Structure 1
Amino acid sequence: MSVRAGDLELRWIDDEVLVHLAELAGRGIHDPDTMPFEHPWSRGTAEEVARSVLTFQWGIRNRVSPDAFVLEFAVLRDGVPAGVQGLTANDWSVLRRVNTGSWLGRAHQGRGIGTRMRMLALHLAFEGLGAREATSGAFVDNGPSNAVSRRVGYESDGAFFVAREGVAVLHNRFVMSRERWESLRRDHIAALGAPIEMRGVDSFRTSIESVLAGD
């Protein structure tokens, strides 16, 4: 499964790409004195961080069902792995809601990739999977992630405390309704700068829908 616009692609993570992503994460995702994630998997030596990426990705490959799924995609720019974009859903058959999460290697940050890959993820969620709503979140001190959500057009949905490395830290929540996404869809496509191509999405959606229907 993949979705692509011009030089940017979100592609299902096979083992070959996964090795490159693990090495990329091992080279660093953020400054050592910051932590953008609720679970500090990005701390440690290059080998430890790479191992965290490998074990997590291998562990989620069977976490796909009609009611809940974790879909993680390699972010490729001109075919070069730059990071990961994820879509997570719980109670999908009822809520039709996905939550987005992502990371980029430091060498690929500050180039507008984060905004574009989020737009591609939303297109996949709404146009490809038939989502009703998409949410995202970031700690209040994660300026780049908060900026991406606002730039893409999410609406603020409050903030709440989350435990991060033994400290309660405010975490912003953002929401994008299907109606709002449809109103912004043309702007997103213009910002992506190329037609959006999706592969393998119809078969994935059909397989889920057929199970829900009892076929």
Structure 2
Amino acid sequence: MRNWPLSELSITTPRLELRHPSLDDLDELGDRAAEGVHEDGFMPFLFPWTDTDPAGRARSTMQYHFRMWAELSPASWSIDFVVVHDGRIVGTQGIAAKNFLVTREAGTGSWLGRRFQGQGIGTEMRKAVLHLAFAGLGANYAVTEAFEDNHASLAVTRKLGYQGDGVTMHDRQGKPALTHRFRLAREDWTESPGFEIHNLAGCLPLFGLDT
């Protein structure tokens, strides 16, 4: 789409493609959400969007992406890629920032369809958006946060070299729950071979950055 250059933005890795989703992509991503993202009785998200029936999860997934598209501005943006593995959409990986031109700091968030977990995909897709943040957008820091019982997310974060950045107490479905915050500085980031960003130049003005 000429007037929406993000539609051409993608990142490729040795196993994955992360791309800005089409409507058909969102439909398939909604199917992954409907199939399930985590085990029953566990809530890894600050906003409990998965706490509903399969149709509700699919609809919420699509509405979230529509909302992020509509609200995007240089002062506050969220780019949420679909993650493609072996020709199938398996999850989503996001990168977001507020006042990026000043802070040079971006946060990440993601989820994988439950049947695709435990295959190293989560680590590789996080590496992909870190490559976008540091090599593509010139970030100085990447940050992330996860509940203390979200062991898979915490393992990815620690594997990639983030340092602890404090804790926050939340109300999670009526009960207190602690999240751990983490920060990765540019100088602690290790660039991985085989990661490439495609069609970023035309998107830079949407982030307030020069081409």
- Look up the SS of the partner of 2:70 in the other structure: coil
- Measured after TM superposition, the shift of residue 210 of structure 1 is 4.4
Deviation string 1:73-98 (CA, Å, 9 cap, x unpaired) is: 00111221010000110111110110
Q: Does structure 2 retain, via aligned residues, the 8 Å contact 1:128–1:202?
A: no
Stretch deviating more after TM superposition (64-73 or 31-40) = 64-73
| Residue 206 of structure 1: how far off its partner (Å) | 4.5
Whole-angstrom distance in 1 between the partners of 2:197 and 2:210: 20
Deviation at 1:39, TM superposition (A): 0.7
TM-superposition CA deviations, 1:55-77 (whole Å, max 9, x none): 11111112222222010000111
Picking from 147, 151, 161, the partner of 1:153 is 161
Decide which of 41, 47, 54 is 1:39's aligned counterpart: 47
> Do residues 53 (structure 1) and 52 (structure 2) align?
no
| Distance across 1 between alignment mates of 2:196 and 2:86 | 15
Q: Unaligned 5+ residue runs, structure 2? A: 1-8
State whether structure 2 residue 80 is matched by structure 1 residue 72. yes
- Residue 27 of structure 1 is matched in structure 2 by 35
Q: Structure 1: which amino acid aligns with 2:117?
A: Q
- 1:86–1:102 contact (8 Å) kept in structure 2: yes
Residue 118 (structure 1) aligned with residue 126 (structure 2) = yes
Distance in 1 between the 2:16 and 2:48 partners? 28
Consecutive unaligned residues of structure 1, counting only runs of 5 or more, are 190-194
Bigger CA drift: 56-65 or 96-105?
Answer: 56-65
Farther off after superposition, 100-109 or 60-69: 60-69
Q: Distance in 2 between matches of 1:21 and 1:106?
A: 12
Partner of 1:192: none
Q: Equivalent residue of 1:16, what SS?
A: helix
Deviations 1:95-149 (A, max 9, x none): 0110000000011000000011111110011111111110001000000000000
CA distance in structure 2 between the partners assigned to 1:56 and 1:178 by the alignment: 29
User: Are the counterparts in 1 of residues 93 and 110 from structure 2 also a CA contact under 8 Å?
Assistant: yes
Q: Is the 8 A contact 1:129 1:201 kept in 2?
A: no
SS in structure 1 at match of 2:209: helix
CA distance in 1, matches of 2:204, 2:179: 31
Distance in 1 (CA, whole Å) between partners of 2:177 and 2:144 is: 16
TM-score (norm 1): 0.90
Paired residue for 2:196? 197
> Over the residues paired in the alignment, what is the CA RMSD in angstroms?
1.4
- Partner of residue 175, structure 2: 167
Length, aligned pairs only? 202
Quick one: which amino acid aligns to residue 205 of structure 1? L
Q: CA deviation at 1:14?
A: 1.2
- 1:18 paired residue among 23, 26, 40: 26
Matched residue, 2:209:
209
Q: Partners in 1 of 2:152 and 2:15 — Cα distance?
A: 22
Secondary structure, counterpart of 2:154 in structure 1: helix
